[in-house]
Amino acid sequence: MKLSNTRPSRVGRNPFVHKLRFTMTEKIKIGLMSVTVFPVRLLLVSFFMLLAWPFAFAASLGRSEFVLEPQPWWRRFIDLCLRVVMRAMWFCGGFHWIKVKGERAAPSEVPILAAAPHSSYFDAIPVTMTMCSIVAKLESGSIPIWGTLINYIRPVYVFRSDQDSRRKTVEEIKRRAQSGGEWPQIMIFPEGTCTNRSGLILFKAGAFIPGLPVQPVVLRYPNKLDTVTWTWQGPAAFKILWLTLCQPHNPMEIEYLPVYTPSNEEKENPALFANNVRKLMAKALELPLTDLSFDDRDISLSEGPLRIRNNSVLREFNQLVCRLRLRSGSRNELLEEQPKRARKLQEERLSLEDFAQFLNLPVTDTLTQVHSFFDQRGDGQIDIRHFVIALSTVHQPSKSMETLKLAFKMYESEEDGHVQEEDLTTILEIMLGVEEVELSGLFLSLDRPDTERITYDELRHFIVQHPDFVLEHLDFKDHPRKFSPVQQKSNGHNHDKDD
């Protein structure tokens, strides 16, 4: 695979990872708070949440999902009661003073609020303070008690199981946004997932497709000890709740930035609109921009003995795959069907038109970009097996052994199941996202006369026996071992020292 330079790689700290480290003093404080303040706070928070439920349930009775009826006095009264109850709930959770900067624009002026960074379920605080609608997955409405509160604010539900979900969600957002302020404002978290607030990841375009003015809303949690962040790798939901309720005070800042009115060019290009708003918010937050997206989370968190070493090329490939909607179908069927078809083609190389026919897709700019990733010779022809390996890698980045097994099925000899060293080199280069893999260290360690080919079972057994297989038995361009700051010299030879 080769990088097409269409997407610069600007990735520092992994935004999907949150690690908590406590000093001894902090551990003692948490221990004391756990047996004194925490039980009381948890009881009060639960009480106020239960108290809010009948209000939300009563106000939701008889309401239409698609038509906004006039608000009678009693529903306005319930709305006020809910705001008071929810604010009391957050107060009992330690959010005593919530600093609000700027002024929220009226729904008739700005139908959409774009909030970032999204890093915790505590981001519901500005939602309960404004009673804005949100975009939520359908399952959220089924959560006991909390689901009733979500239903009350009339969310735009996303049907994850519906292939057409994205289009329907965008259409509903546009319908509400173009109502002239009749519907409540929609607060959208355009990152689409929770991060650790180390930078702003790429924004999804949904909030910006209507081409209407949006108001950026930035969220800050200035606590020295970050107990609120809840992302893909880190403390679980209840641990976050426990640690946060054990803090004496949890400060939060909500800042409403000036309304952003899109230019004609931004109205025609939602991605440009989204990125310009992202830059504005990053500047206000004094955070860097991170060229990762929601769809990159699994790749950046890949695990296993053959975890991805350099994910920049695979992330770019993954973005193109998402545009082709190759990830929206059944993953298992996709990864069973294509390797079998690729195996039948053997070493036959495919032109762009043949590639489009293989995927049953029309020739588009995106498909052309994908095809160019694997055009190593520059002759407009690709080995379809390379594409299948890359597709399996981005589909299941933490199941590298399954991808390796799939690759062997496409390359192995029918007589004895062996794969040649040259082919294994190609497989590993794609899976690891690296260049110039050298396998001499591997075959030397196998200590056998036949050093130019290997079966899947032999390689799997060797990897199981050597968990640091990639670092210890492979060589490739920019290998971490080549940058080891400490080296030991013994008998005239250099030996790497593991830190």
Which pLDDT score, from 0 to 100, does residue 334 have? 64
* SS3 state at 387: helix
Residue after which a domain boundary falls, among 291, 317, 348: 291
Q: What is the pTM of this model?
A: 0.84
Buried b (16+ CB within 10 A) or exposed e, 298-323: bbbbbebebbbbebbbbbbbbbbbbe
* SS3 state at 494: strand
CB 307, CB 298: distance < 8 Å = no
Q: Name residues whose C-beta falls within 8 Å of residue 470's C-beta, 6 or more positions apart in sequence.
A: 305, 306, 307, 309, 432
- Secondary structure element (H or E) that encloses residue 35, with its range: helix 24-35
CB 176, CB 111: distance < 8 Å = yes
Q: Which domain holds residue 379?
A: 298-496
> Residue 438 gets which letter from DSSP?
B
Which alpha helices (DSSP H) does 99-179 contain, by range? Answer: 124-130, 146-152, 165-177
Do 210 and 327 have their domain in common?
A: no
Q: Name residues whose C-beta falls within 8 Å of residue 28's C-beta, 6 or more positions apart in sequence.
A: none
Do 48 and 170 have their domain in common?
A: yes
- CB < 8 Å & 24+ apart, contacts of 452-458: 452/420, 452/421, 453/413, 453/418, 453/419, 453/420, 453/421, 454/418, 454/419, 454/421, 454/424, 455/408, 455/412, 455/416, 455/417, 455/418, 455/419, 456/404, 456/405, 456/408, 456/412, 456/417, 456/419, 457/417
Do 57 and 186 have their domain in common?
A: yes
Which pLDDT score, from 0 to 100, does residue 485 have? 46
The residue among 100, 89, 168 whose CA lies nearest residue 135 is 168
For residue 13, is it within any domain? no
For residue 19, is it within any domain? no
Cβ-count burial of 442 within 10 angstroms (0-12 exposed, 13-18 middle, 19+ buried)?
buried
Chunked in runs of 10, what are the mean pLDDT values of the chain (499 residues)?
A: 50 85 94 96 96 90 72 85 95 96 93 96 94 87 86 84 75 86 90 93 92 96 93 94 96 97 95 96 95 88 87 88 71 68 79 90 92 88 91 90 91 85 91 87 73 86 88 80 47 39
CB 107, CB 181: distance < 8 Å = yes
For residue 268, is it within any domain? yes
Which pLDDT score, from 0 to 100, does residue 139 have? 82
Token readout for 308 is: 């991805």
Residue after which a domain boundary falls, among 227, 258, 291: 291
Which pLDDT score, from 0 to 100, does residue 488 have? 41
Angle between helices 331-345 and 384-395 (to 10 degrees): 160
Do 141 and 250 have their domain in common?
A: yes
For residue 405, is it within any domain? yes
For residue 260, is it within any domain? yes
**In this structure, is the dihedral angle defined by the CA atoms of residues 421, 426, 432 and 436, taken in order, positive or negative?**
positive
Convert 479-493 into a string of H (helix), E (strand) and C (coil): CHHHHCCCEEEECCE
Do 359 and 377 have their domain in common?
A: yes
Do 399 and 280 have their domain in common?
A: no
* Separation between Cα atoms, residue 95 and residue 160, nearest integer Å: 33
Do 93 and 230 have their domain in common?
A: yes
Do 282 and 314 have their domain in common?
A: no
Which pLDDT score, from 0 to 100, does residue 492 have? 38
Token readout for 455 is: 């079966």
Which pLDDT score, from 0 to 100, does residue 496 have? 40
Do 331 and 238 have their domain in common?
A: no
Do 312 and 449 have their domain in common?
A: yes
Residue after which a domain boundary falls, among 269, 291, 313: 291
Which pLDDT score, from 0 to 100, does residue 343 have? 76
- Secondary structure element (H or E) that encloses residue 454, with its range: strand 453-455
Do 178 and 323 have their domain in common?
A: no
Token readout for 7 is: 């997407």
* Separation between Cα atoms, residue 198 and residue 218, nearest integer Å: 14
For residue 324, is it within any domain? yes
* Separation between Cα atoms, residue 327 and residue 392, nearest integer Å: 10
For residue 128, is it within any domain? yes
Which pLDDT score, from 0 to 100, does residue 15 have? 93
Do 280 and 197 have their domain in common?
A: yes
Number of domains in the chain: 2
For residue 41, is it within any domain? yes
